[in-house]
C-alpha cells in the first residue's frame, strides 16, 4: 500500500476507533467460496526493497526444500528465494531482462529450473543456484519462424519422460516440443479459427491427476479458456472460463489453480482474481472474484468482485496448501500469501 493511502485511511480509522472501537478488531474477510477459502497476507515478503527490488513478479515455484522461488524481470535480482515465512534467503540473476516463465523439474533427483525470457527470445535451463545448463533458441526447425523476434516464449512444461514443451504465448502461439536434451521434436497449436488453435498461449502444464489419461493443459488466455492436448499435441477439448484472462494452470493435489490477469468485463483496470478448479475442471472458488455458478453445465461469466489484486500473474501452492500470488504491473509489489481456512 502506498504511504499516502495509508495516511489517508489512518485518519478514517482513528475516527472509527473513537466512536466504534469494535471496528478496530474486525476480522479480515475471507477470500473465495466453499471449502477453498483463504486469508490474505499482503506483507508476506520481508525482502528489503532497497536491496532486492522487484519489477513485474511473473512466476513462483517451490523446491523440495520448501523454498519459494520467485522470478521477476528486475535484473538486479531475477530470482529471489524465500522461506515460507517470507524471509529472503538468497537472490541471483541479472541476465534475464524478459524473465517471464519459471518451471521447476526434478531431473533424476536433481532439481533444475527452466526460465522463459521474452526479451531474449530464449528458454534457459539452470541449476537452482543459477548455473546455465542449456539454452534453447527460437525454433527455426518448425519452419514457422524467420527470426528470433517472432518467438516470445512465456512458459515451459516438462513431461514425465523429460520432454520439454515451450509455449510461445506472446509470439505465434505455438507449443514447441523438444526432448530432454533440447532436440526439436514437433510443434502444435498456433493461431486460427479451429478449436485446436490458441490465442495468447500464455501457459502450459502437465496434468497427471488421471493416471490413465495424462495430458497437457494449455492456456488460451484471450479466448478465456484452457485447452487440453495429448503429449503428441493432438487436441482433446476446451475448458471455457468465460470472462477470465487465465494465466498458466498450476496443478497441486486434486485441484488446478490459476491467476486471472483481469476480467473481460473490466479490461486493463486492475480487475484480476484467482480461480480454482476441481479435478473435473469445474470452478469451485474465485479468490476476489465472483462466486462460480453453472446453469445447465455452462459456467456463468466470471469477474473480479473485490479489488484484492491488480493483475495476478501466477499462483504457487506450497506443501502446506498456502498460495503465493505473483503480480504483473501492480506497483512492483512483492508476492502476497494466502493461507487456507477451515
Partner 1 sequence: MSKLFIFNTETLSAVFTNHKGKSSLIYAPIIFILMLLAGFYCEAQSPVQLAPPLLKYHSVFFKKAADVEIKFAQQGTQIQYTLNNQLPTEQSEIYTKSIHINKSFTTVKAFVSGDGFLPSEMVTATFIKDGIKIKSVQQSPANKRFQGSGATALIDNEGGLTDMNASTWLGYQEGDVEINMLLAKKQALSSVLINCLQNQGSWIFLPAQISVFYFDESKQSFELLGEQLNAPNEKISTVSCQPIIIAAAKKKKTKKIKIILKGIKNLPEWHAGKGQPGWLFIDEIKLY
* Shortest Cβ 53–partner 1 spacing (Å): 22
- 240 part of the interface to partner 1, by CB under 8 A: no
- 24 part of the interface to partner 1, by CB under 8 A: yes
Give the whole-angstrom CA distance, residue 269 versus residue 303.
Answer: 12
- 42 part of the interface to partner 1, by CB under 8 A: yes
Kindly report the number of other CB atoms within 10 A of residue 273's CB atom: 28
- Please report, as residue ranges, which positions from 99 to 118 form the binding site for partner 1 (by CB under 8 A): none
Q: Whose Cβ is closer to partner 1: residue 101's or residue 272's?
A: 272
Residue identified by cell 504457487 is: 316
The residue from 178, 303, 311, 336 that contacts partner 1 (CB under 8 A) is: 303
The Cα angle at residue 46 between residues 319 and 307, in degrees rounded to 5: 80
- 25 part of the interface to partner 1, by CB under 8 A: yes
The residue from 4, 12, 109, 210 that contacts partner 1 (CB under 8 A) is: 12
- 224 part of the interface to partner 1, by CB under 8 A: no
* Shortest Cβ 93–partner 1 spacing (Å): 31
Site string for partner 1, 272-291 (x = CB under 8 A): ------------------xx
- 263 part of the interface to partner 1, by CB under 8 A: yes
**Which residues, at least 6 apart from 196, have a Cβ–Cβ distance to it below 8 Å?**
188, 189, 227, 229, 235
Give the whole-angstrom CA distance, residue 287 versus residue 302.
Answer: 11
- 28 part of the interface to partner 1, by CB under 8 A: yes
- 329 part of the interface to partner 1, by CB under 8 A: no
Give the whole-angstrom CA distance, residue 177 versus residue 188.
Answer: 8
With CB under 8 A, what is the number of residues at the site for partner 1?
Answer: 38
Kindly report the number of other CB atoms within 10 A of residue 210's CB atom: 9
* Shortest Cβ 129–partner 1 spacing (Å): 33
DSSP summary character for residue 21 = G
**Which residues, at least 6 apart from 336, have a Cβ–Cβ distance to it below 8 Å?**
40, 41, 42, 44, 308, 309, 324, 325, 327
109's grid cell: 533427483
**Which residues, at least 6 apart from 9, have a Cβ–Cβ distance to it below 8 Å?**
none
CB distance 236 to 229 below 8 Å: yes
- 293 part of the interface to partner 1, by CB under 8 A: yes
CB distance 115 to 69 below 8 Å: no
Q: Whose Cβ is closer to partner 1: residue 163's or residue 300's?
A: 300
**Which residues, at least 6 apart from 68, have a Cβ–Cβ distance to it below 8 Å?**
60, 61, 62, 81, 82, 83, 84, 316, 318, 324, 335
* Shortest Cβ 307–partner 1 spacing (Å): 5
Give the whole-angstrom CA distance, residue 113 versus residue 61.
Answer: 9
Q: Whose Cβ is closer to partner 1: residue 28's or residue 194's?
A: 28
* Shortest Cβ 299–partner 1 spacing (Å): 12
- 49 part of the interface to partner 1, by CB under 8 A: no
- 46 part of the interface to partner 1, by CB under 8 A: no
- 339 part of the interface to partner 1, by CB under 8 A: no
Q: Whose Cβ is closer to partner 1: residue 1's or residue 234's?
A: 1
| Residues forming the site for partner 1 (CB under 8 A) | 1, 6, 9-10, 12-14, 16-17, 21-29, 33, 42, 263-268, 271, 290-291, 293, 300-301, 303-308
Amino acid at each position: 500500500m502506498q504511504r499516502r493511502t495509508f495516511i489517508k485511511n489512518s485518519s478514517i480509522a482513528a475516527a472509527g476507533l473513537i466512536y466504534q472501537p469494535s471496528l478496530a478488531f474486525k476480522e479480515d474477510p475471507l477470500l473465495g467460496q466453499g471449502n477453498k477459502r483463504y486469508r490474505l497476507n499482503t506483507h508476506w515478503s520481508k525482502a528489503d526493497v532497497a536491496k532486492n527490488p522487484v519489477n513485474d513478479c511473473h512466476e513462483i515455484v517451490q523446491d523440495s526444500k520448501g523454498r519459494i522461488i520467485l522470478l521477476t524481470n528486475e535484473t538486479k535480482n531475477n530470482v529471489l528465494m524465500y522461506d515460507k515465512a517470507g524471509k529472503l534467503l538468497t537472490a541471483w540473476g541479472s541476465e534475464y531482462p524478459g524473465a517471464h516463465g519459471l518451471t521447476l523439474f526434478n531431473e533424476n533427483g536433481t532439481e533444475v529450473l527452466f526460465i522463459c525470457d521474452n526479451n531474449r527470445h530464449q528458454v534457459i535451463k539452470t541449476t537452482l543456484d543459477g548455473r546455465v545448463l542449456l539454452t534453447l533458441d527460437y525454433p527455426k526447425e518448425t519452419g514457422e519462424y524467420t527470426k528470433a523476434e517472432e518467438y516470445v516464449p512465456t512458459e515451459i512444461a516438462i513431461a514425465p519422460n523429460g520432454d520439454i514443451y515451450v509455449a510461445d504465448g506472446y509470439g505465434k502461439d505455438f507449443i514447441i516440443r523438444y526432448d530432454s536434451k533440447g532436440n526439436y521434436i514437433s510443434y502444435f497449436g498456433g493461431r486460427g479459427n479451429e478449436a485446436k488453435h490458441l490465442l495468447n498461449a500464455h501457459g502450459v502444464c502437465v496434468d497427471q491427476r488421471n493416471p490413465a489419461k495424462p495430458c497437457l493443459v494449455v492456456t488460451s488466455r484471450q479466448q478465456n479458456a484452457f485447452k487440453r492436448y495429448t503429449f503428441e499435441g493432438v487436441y482433446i477439448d476446451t475448458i471455457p472460463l468465460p470472462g477470465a484472462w487465465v494465466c498458466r494452470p498450476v496443478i497441486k493435489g486434486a485441484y488446478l489453480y490459476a491467476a486471472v490477469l483481469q476480467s473481460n468485463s473490466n479490461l486493463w483496470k486492475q480487475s484480476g482474481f484467482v480461480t480454482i478448479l476441481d479435478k473435473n475442471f469445474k470452478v469451485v472458488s474465485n479468490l476476489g472474484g465472483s462466486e462460480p455458478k453453472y446453469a445447465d453445465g455452462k459456467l456463468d461469466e466470471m469477474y473480479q468482485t473485490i479489488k484484492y489484486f491488480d493483475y495476478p500473474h501466477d499462483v504457487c501452492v506450497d506443501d502446506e496448501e498456502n498460495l503465493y500470488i505473483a503480480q504483473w504491473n501492480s506497483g512492483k509489489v512483492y508476492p502476497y500469501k494466502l493461507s487456507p481456512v477451515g
